[in-house]
């Protein structure tokens, strides 16, 4: 069993998932503005340090995706952030793309950039303690999109990124996110997501990426947030499983879903149902950002020195999702 495969299994063992704490400074500033907390580097660090030192880090969180600013910071006790995460028996990870930019040739779509100089940056992150990385491609659904150009270009970038990451002895998270924004039906989401994922794996195989040493981070199959045809959670789970069974090679060990605009409870409930109906060998877990942090952030904003109270809120959310990753969650536990 390869070192990379072992890393994947350790991150996702026993229902553990991934905390996506890789918000850029701009995104984190918006989140803090929403709760009336000044977005200073000290406050951004304080919130993240509060989460990273929670007890659920050891019990529920197998990995944390960091942003460039955070991986280089030290805690109030002068412990480097990757070291703190490692001490909590979790794996430090790092977002390595530089964001989605306008796609030349299809200006209404996006291409994720960041390949220039990536090999050198990966070596630096590896020395800082990173065990895995993340790169996100984004796709919109409309009558004409995602285009073949967008699907091909982002798949190629994800594959080149993954090959470089494995060369540097880290696990790549491959995140092709078909966005929830729009009026599309769940069936359209299913069709487009299937097309996107299949093309990603074509490129990954072409680039000789070891599929046993990656984590796929896809969206669930959902109707658009402006759609009139909302489907039941059971149907979300079944369509999501059907999509992945038909699109993902069996060598891939683990799938960690993004929450993609769902509420905290909705994301947890859908994850639970996916695992309830899961008849594959894939580990099905979570890699949530807002769906893990939002309640904790709201609580923390009322008194940023109430570390224990904030951790209690975060621990509950993490535990709920780890139960859902084992199909052991129920609404009664949310009280």
pLDDT at 1 over 80: no
Annotated catalytic, 217?
A: yes
Average pLDDT over residues 80-88: 98
If you search the block for the tokens 């079944």, which residue do you land on?
A: 238
The pLDDT of residue 233: 95
The pLDDT of residue 229: 86
pLDDT at 205 over 70: yes
pLDDT at 167 over 70: yes
| 3-state secondary structure string across 199-245 | HHHHHHHHCCCCHHHCEECCCCCCCCCCCCCCCCHHHHHHHHHHHHH
Residues 38-61 have pLDDT tens digits of 999 999 999 999 999 999 999 999
Torsion region of 114: left, alpha or beta (phi above 0 gives left; psi -120 to 50 gives alpha): left
Average pLDDT over residues 315-331: 98
pLDDT at 208 over 90: yes
Average pLDDT over residues 208-233: 95
pLDDT at 128 over 70: yes
In terms of residue numbers, what domain contains 22?
Answer: 3-334
**Percent of the chain with pLDDT strictly greater than 90:** 98
pLDDT at 201 over 90: yes
Burial 207-239 (b: 16+ CB within 10 A, else e): bebbbbbbbbbbbbbbbbeebeeebeeeebbbb
The pLDDT of residue 296: 98
This prediction's pTM: 0.97
pLDDT at 312 over 80: yes
Looking up residue 124, the CATH number of its domain turns out to be 3.20.20.70
Average pLDDT over residues 6-32: 97
Query: What is the count of structural domains for the chain?
Result: 1
Q: Binning pLDDT at 50, 70 and 90, where does residue 335 land?
A: confident
Which of the residues 16, 217, 226, 319 is marked catalytic? 217
C-alpha to C-alpha distance for 321 and 15, rounded to whole angstroms? 8
Q: Binning pLDDT at 50, 70 and 90, where does residue 230 land?
A: confident
SS3 content of the chain, % helix, strand, coil (to 5): 50, 15, 35
């Amino acid at each position: 069993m390869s070192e990379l495969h072992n890393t994947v299994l350790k991150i996702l063992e026993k229902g553990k998932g991934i905390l996506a704490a890789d918000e850029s400074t701009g995104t984190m500033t918006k989140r803090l503005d929403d709760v009336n907390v000044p977005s200073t580097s000290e406050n951004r660090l304080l919130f993240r340090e509060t989460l990273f030192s929670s007890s659920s880090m050891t019990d529920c969180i197998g990995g944390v995706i960091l942003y460039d600013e955070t991986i280089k910071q030290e805690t109030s006790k002068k412990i480097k952030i990757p070291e703190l995460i490692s001490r909590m028996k979790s794996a430090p990870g790092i977002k390595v793309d530089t964001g989605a930019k306008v796609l030349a040739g299809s200006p209404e779509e996006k291409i994720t950039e960041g390949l220039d100089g990536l090999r050198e940056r990966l070596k630096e992150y590896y020395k800082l303690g990173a065990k895995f990385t993340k790169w996100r491609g984004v796709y919109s659904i409309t009558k004409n999109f995602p285009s073949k150009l967008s699907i091909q270009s982002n798949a190629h970038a994800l594959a080149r990124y993954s090959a470089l990451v494995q060369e540097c002895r880290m696990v790549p998270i491959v995140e092709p996110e078909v966005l929830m924004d729009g009026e599309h039906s769940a069936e359209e989401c299913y069709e487009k997501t299937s097309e996107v994922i299949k093309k990603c794996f074509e490129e990954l195989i072409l680039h000789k990426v070891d599929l046993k040493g990656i984590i796929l981070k896809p969206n669930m199959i959902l109707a658009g947030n402006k759609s009139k045809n909302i489907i039941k959670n059971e149907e979300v789970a079944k369509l999501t499983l059907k999509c992945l069974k038909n699109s993902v090679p069996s060598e891939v060990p683990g799938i960690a879903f993004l929450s993609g605009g769902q509420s905290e409870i909705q994301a947890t409930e859908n994850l639970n149902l996916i695992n309830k109906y899961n008849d594959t060998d894939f580990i099905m877990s979570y890699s949530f950002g807002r769906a893990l942090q939002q309640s904790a952030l709201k609580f923390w904003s009322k008194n940023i020195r109430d570390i224990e109270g904030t951790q209690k809120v975060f621990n509950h959310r993490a535990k709920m999702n780890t139960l859902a990753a084992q199909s052991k969650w129920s609404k009664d536990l949310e009280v």
